[in-house]
Amino acid sequence: MSEVIIIQHQLGEGPGTIEEEILRAGHKVRMVRIHQGDKVPSEVGSVGGLVVMGGSMGVADQGKLNHLKDEIALLKQFVQAEKPVLGICLGAQLLAAALGSEVVAGEKEIGWFPVRKLPDAFKDPVLRRLPENFPALMWHGDHFPLPKGAAQLLSTEKCSCAGFRYGKKAYGLVAHLEMTAAMVDEMVAGSRKELTAIGVEAGQILEETSEHAEPVEELARVMWRAWVGLLI
């Protein structure tokens, strides 16, 4: 069985169902909690895979948040070692930066939005079981072009590169598919001022969460199990 490093940046953006499926398959998890002062590992070593979660910071904050530089360096090592990588939201942005894409501020996309599966996703070993269209929680304002040499897997109306794969085992997903309904409720509760300031209705997100969260969670678990299957 493998050990998987999961990097968490702040409370409320934990690994959710991703960690559950890793553990269910018999693998070990080593949590690196940046918000608690944990340091980013500098070497891949014998670790089998890497998961990088979301956060309110961005790739542009590397100058004041050294851990972001360290995460990009670690992502590069995992990609070069051809070991499984999974980046969620900020994690996807950091992976894109590690692969040479420029991550820039753009239109905010916060709430439940339709996601479209692109042609390469239909044959992708991890995403192929997803339906052609499905709702997902998006919570980001930074955007990036498809990294050179990567396969584009998902898109939304506001986010052309909402999911990609580099090589055979490195995945970046902008959507928060790891969250249960309870996690979304907690995230919304802690972000009401931010949502009000940008004109997003918290009540609408919660209403749509009650409708979408459970079926999307089941879709996501199928996907996580396929990703876990890439671990050696």
Q: What is the pTM of this model?
A: 0.97
Amino acid occupying residue 19:
E
The phi-psi region of residue 100 (left if phi > 0; otherwise alpha if psi is between -120 and 50; otherwise beta) is left
Whole-number pLDDT of residue 232: 79
Residues in the chain predicted with pLDDT less than 50, given as ranges, are none
Whole-number pLDDT of residue 52: 98
Whole-number pLDDT of residue 90: 98
* CA dihedral for 167, 170, 172, 178, sign (positive or negative): positive
User: pLDDT, tens digit, for every residue of 55-68?
Assistant: 999 999 999 999 99
- Paired sense of beta strands 49-52 and 3-8, if any: parallel
Domains along the chain with CATH numbers = 3-228 (3.40.50.880)
Rounded CA gap, 118 and 186, in Å?
A: 31
Whole-number pLDDT of residue 125: 97
The residue whose two tokens read 């997003």 is: 200
Rounded CA gap, 102 and 191, in Å?
A: 27
For 191, residues 6+ apart whose C-beta sits below 8 A from its C-beta are: 202
Structural Rg of the chain based on CA atoms: 16
Rounded CA gap, 20 and 214, in Å?
A: 15
